[in-house]
Copies of this chain bind each other. A is one copy, B any other.
Amino acid sequence: MGMNENVSKPLDRLSVELAGDMDRVNALIRERMASRHAPRIPEVTAHLVEAGGKRLRPMLVLAAARLCGYQGNSHVLLAAAVEFIHTATLLHDDVVDESQQRRGRPTANLLWDNKSSVLVGDYLFARSFQLMADTESMQVMRILANASATIAEGEVLQLTAAQDVSTTEDTYIQIVRGKTAALFSAATEAGAVVAGADPAVQQALFDYGDALGIAFQIVDDLLDYGGSTTTIGKNVGDDFRERKLTLPVIKAIARADEAERAFWERTIGQGRQDEADLATALEILRRREALEAARADAIAWAGRAKAALQAAPDQPLRRILADLADFVVSRLS
């Protein structure tokens, strides 16, 4: 995330607010990523876990639980479990996408091999379910098992929808729920559940995480057509070159004339691209106001996230979570 001093505040404030809890989460992550028999496991995990990720998902767990007045220890277990699921999906994603870089460093599949990434990912999935079992909450297990299924389903959907220019916005949102929002909403909902919050508050925090996650992913997809290498660690046009049907392109295709439709069909549908095509794509996206329309959607989802919080306890953390929703979209300006 490209953060200037001003807009980074909500994440910084969350970090300060949750510093004690996060120290315990980080200690637990280091403890549980160990393996007595297979040293390859902590090597691969550490490469990713210690690469300076934002720990956004565990912070969402902790914030939701604290917001609901939780004083116990289960939210720490849960936060570590959520980070392990996230790390496992990153390892498997990099195999699936044949990625070379993640967070500005070579990926595990490149440093070791695909085998290690697949198997260490499986190990971290299993470890996350062990951590959840330690919370002794069957509802937490169910929330995270459901989220894991939605994540995998979304990834498969993305695999089969990729390069299909008839992909709709509905399908895109389903894919985004899988890729990003399912773990955000599971994190905030499960945080409320371990805190013993009543069902309306659990639902409010689920809705917050869901909308925040969707806003977050739309912004990510927009940055791919407008950010710079330095701010997001990937190059403008990566999604275009990989023929990913993201929201700006889906909107542009819906508004396309015959020539534009032929352009998208050739470049995304059939993958026949030359060097000038990215510039043409950007030109069409601008002409059809597709970036603006996607940006408006992201802002609307951030608004839904903030609105959902109205049903959550009125505590200082609520203010930070609301600001976080604005922050996510502010990356665009």
A residues adjacent to B (C-beta < 8 A): 35, 37-41, 89, 92, 95-96, 114-116, 118-123, 125-127, 129-130, 132-133, 136, 138, 141-142, 144-146, 148-149, 151-157, 159-160, 171, 174
Contact = CB atoms under 8 A, between A and B. Distances in A.
Given A37-B174, A96-B118, A125-B122, A130 B142 contact: yes
Contacts of A122: 89, 92, 121, 125, 148, 151-152, 155
Contacts of A37: 153-154, 157, 171, 174
A271 to B, nearest CB: 15
A304 to B, nearest CB: 22
A126 B145 contact: yes
Given A130-B145, A138-B138, A96 B115 contact: yes
Contact of A149 (B127, B144, B145, B148): B127
A29 B241 CA distance: 39
- Specify how many copies of this chain sit in the oligomer: 2
B38 A153 contact: yes
Contacts of A41: 153, 156
A117 to B, nearest CB: 9
Contact of A145 (B92, B95, B133, B136): B133
Interface centre among A136, A148, A154 (most CB of B within 10 A): A148
Nearest to A120: B156
A142 B137 CA distance: 12
A149 to B, nearest CB: 4
Contacts of A129: 129, 141, 144-145, 148
A160 B38 contact: yes
A245 B122 CA distance: 23
B126 A157 contact: no
Nearest to A89: B122
Contacts of A96: 114-115, 118-119
B157 A38 contact: yes
- Which 6 interchain pairs have the tightest Cβ spacing? A126-B148, A123-B152, A126-B149, A129-B145, A122-B152, A38-B156
Contact of A141 (B120, B127, B133, B174): B133
Given A41-B156, A129-B144, A136-B138, 14 more contacts: A38-B156, A40-B160, A92-B119, A95-B114, A95-B118, A96-B118, A118-B118, A119-B155, A119-B159, A123-B149, A125-B148, A130-B142, A133-B145, A138-B141
Given A37-B174, A133-B138, A142-B130, A116 B159 contact: yes
Contacts of A159: 40, 115-116, 119
